[in-house]
Structure 1
């Protein structure tokens, strides 16, 4: 028992970082000075503010109006069963149910995250003082780009939906049911339907983009961590501690989003099967007037799931590439270990001659073959000019640790990588 206690204490001492210890990654910050940045993307989440009773009541009221009440009124009062075949909506129930389900999942998830963590802590913005300037600047730029990305995903769908609704109301003016005044009734119905469509699509895509932003920050940290293998690693403990921080953040991200990812994947599959079975019935004619809205709904839902799965698999692939990079670094440092110098200080020409094998091979590979961007960590040039700085035992211990502690995004214990996606989408009977 005493030996186990002392061993655990020594392990904790090994993993504990001292304030004066230099980081394994080149970092120019001597003090954690990180001024509060203004992120324009954060203004979007003010719709879902749950900080006090007033804003929570307003937020939930808007949610029930646009996600529950308006779709029900639109479906049951504007069913238009007596209209011609161009103005009937046989797939409206599938469309309204699919959008409302995903909007409900997204809103509830976002409300829980906002109330439990706060959006700044939820997006790891309070941890940016602990990263390099390059990571912080690139992450801020990614958040700024997220608003543009949201517009790219939402506006085309909204525009097509608006065009369809305008045509539907104008061409079917005498057939569509109305209350008291047909013009005023149709204008109000059109406004509420378009607002509901925008709200439900936006809230789902916003959560998917928040997930992408969170994964992108950890991807930047992984890339910054991988750069240490191309320079001097003064302390293996610092490199080990940095990797453990990244693994812990990835576990947190996986835990927070696992229900949302699983529900989205299962429900998107279910709704697409439902749409497929509905459209393939022999009694229903399929044309652009009736299927167009269903196609827009399916495209929005599949796009959101694609954003989440792509972000998860990308960061998992990056995390796994670090292991091969560390093994490559260990091999190059071991081969070019300056054994023939017998303890003499290497000169510049000697160093230049020693680093040529790894550097030239890496350069030839990158010149001859252009990758797709996902394997840029594997193509990192290794220059083991500090081969004698760290002993072989320490390098091998670090590589062994990385091999047995691979990081990545998980969903209830299942690693979300390309093999996992192939198992789901390819091997379905």
Structure 2
């Protein structure tokens, strides 16, 4: 028995250990291509070198040496400092947090791939599919913004805004400078969205686990196993909250400061506003808001699903309690009350079909509890009381990111962005 137990432990350890030929191989290759892989000392030094060049050096040189003070009115860039500071600050936060995540926990442990061996086949398959589509989601968010930025930069250089003298040929100099600026913009944006997409991916795993956990109320389960599984989910949610709380808080602060400073600068009485001058400010604001919405929406979905467990447990308790009552004797009353099958009769009305598809946590149908009514009323009541007094979800330093708090944040950020778009590109 001891030898068999040691063999199982070694097998689990090998399943959790990182390998260049596992399911993360393509993702690691993409990280190396983006120069954010820090698995070895050479890649660690290269990663920080590329980060400093594309986050600080190129934006600084672009701002101070390509300010184009002698340009015409359309080619002037009076708001370039807002654009560079906003992107560089959020990219620096994202890169430092991503480096800390990978260096401290490792990629497999950070993405919870080492825990998939304990999950069901449905959870493993759903999480693997979401992982493979995560880079597609990243491309969907980054591609439109990069296309708009590339169009603006190409127009700015080709229309004769500047001629950089560091190369013999002016056209080659402009092409090199334009390419470096676009590479810097793409690098900073991708690093920010990468951290947001990874948070979305981890949250999707917990949602799959919560949906799988909802099935325990449809089978004959004891209170102890239900409680242990819920405690395991709460522990993972607490781990995610602890890892991402600094990034979420500082991202919210930096993005809000960026919106406020841009609004203060564009609402000055003597502010010179046109789409050629303020288009980049609007584009950066929309990009940062999109990343923030990914974070908040992912956190809110987890909190909503976790709170749905309490509703499901209460419904399960009610159905089991109703089922446990014996119907009164027919001789004692003229019309016996309709319990049993009448209570749990499925309703196939058209109004239910209009509600759309539902998972196990959001279903409004009653639960036929006859199969597991052997649990006592006290045990079921204790479990429901535990769910009510121990809400699970994503927290930031103790503050739960539920729908009410996120709606307030979204309303403030959207008001700032829409106001800024109205002042810059005429969208209100």
* TM-score bracket, shorter-length normalisation: 0.7 to 0.9
Normalising by structure 1, we get a TM-score of 0.84
Q: Map 1:408-427 to 2 at 5 A.
A: 408-424=393-409
- List runs of 5+ in structure 2 lacking aligned partners: 1-10, 17-21, 330-338, 416-428
Taking the aligned partners of 1:375 and 1:290, their CA distance within structure 2 comes to: 51
**Which among 113, 119, 128 is matched to residue 131 of structure 1?**
119
Taking the aligned partners of 1:405 and 1:138, their CA distance within structure 2 comes to: 27
Taking the aligned partners of 1:309 and 1:375, their CA distance within structure 2 comes to: 23
1:280 to 1:157, Cα distance in 2 relative to 1, 3 A: same
Taking the aligned partners of 1:189 and 1:263, their CA distance within structure 2 comes to: 31
- List runs of 5+ in structure 1 lacking aligned partners: 1-30, 343-352
**Which among 339, 343, 346 is matched to residue 326 of structure 2?**
339
Question: 1:241 corresponds to which residue?
Answer: 228
Question: 1:69 corresponds to which residue?
Answer: 57
Question: 1:218 corresponds to which residue?
Answer: 206
Shift of residue 178, structure 1, vs aligned partner:
3.4
Are 1:358 and 2:364 matched, yes or no? Answer: no
Question: 1:48 corresponds to which residue?
Answer: 36
Are 1:96 and 2:84 matched, yes or no? Answer: yes
Q: Check whether the contact 1:312–1:416 (CA below 8 A) recurs between aligned residues.
A: yes
Q: Check whether the contact 1:359–1:382 (CA below 8 A) recurs between aligned residues.
A: no
Taking the aligned partners of 1:130 and 1:92, their CA distance within structure 2 comes to: 50
For structure 1, which segment, 50-59 or 408-417, has the greater mean C-alpha deviation from structure 2 after superposition? 50-59
Question: 1:396 corresponds to which residue?
Answer: 381
Q: Check whether the contact 1:87–1:290 (CA below 8 A) recurs between aligned residues.
A: yes
Shift of residue 284, structure 1, vs aligned partner:
2.5
Taking the aligned partners of 2:112 and 2:363, their CA distance within structure 1 comes to: 27
**Which among 247, 254, 266 is matched to residue 260 of structure 1?**
247
For structure 1, which segment, 281-290 or 119-128, has the greater mean C-alpha deviation from structure 2 after superposition? 281-290
Deviations 1:315-337 (A, max 9, x none): 00110111011000100111012
**Which among 170, 173, 177 is matched to residue 189 of structure 1?**
177
Shift of residue 208, structure 1, vs aligned partner:
0.2
Q: Check whether the contact 1:355–1:385 (CA below 8 A) recurs between aligned residues.
A: no
1:240 to 1:52, Cα distance in 2 relative to 1, 3 A: same
Q: Map 1:320-339 to 2 at 5 A.
A: 320-337=307-324, 339=326
Q: Check whether the contact 1:39–1:143 (CA below 8 A) recurs between aligned residues.
A: no
Taking the aligned partners of 1:211 and 1:265, their CA distance within structure 2 comes to: 15
Taking the aligned partners of 1:299 and 1:118, their CA distance within structure 2 comes to: 32
Shift of residue 58, structure 1, vs aligned partner:
0.4
Q: Check whether the contact 1:135–1:221 (CA below 8 A) recurs between aligned residues.
A: yes
Deviations 1:360-411 (A, max 9, x none): 25x5597254259699524355121314332222111111111111100000
Question: 2:134 corresponds to which residue?
Answer: 146
**Which among 342, 349, 352 is matched to residue 367 of structure 1?**
352
Shift of residue 34, structure 1, vs aligned partner:
6.8
Count matched residues.
387
1:395 to 1:121, Cα distance in 2 relative to 1, 3 A: same
Q: Check whether the contact 2:214–2:360 (CA below 8 A) recurs between aligned residues.
A: no
Taking the aligned partners of 1:300 and 1:205, their CA distance within structure 2 comes to: 9
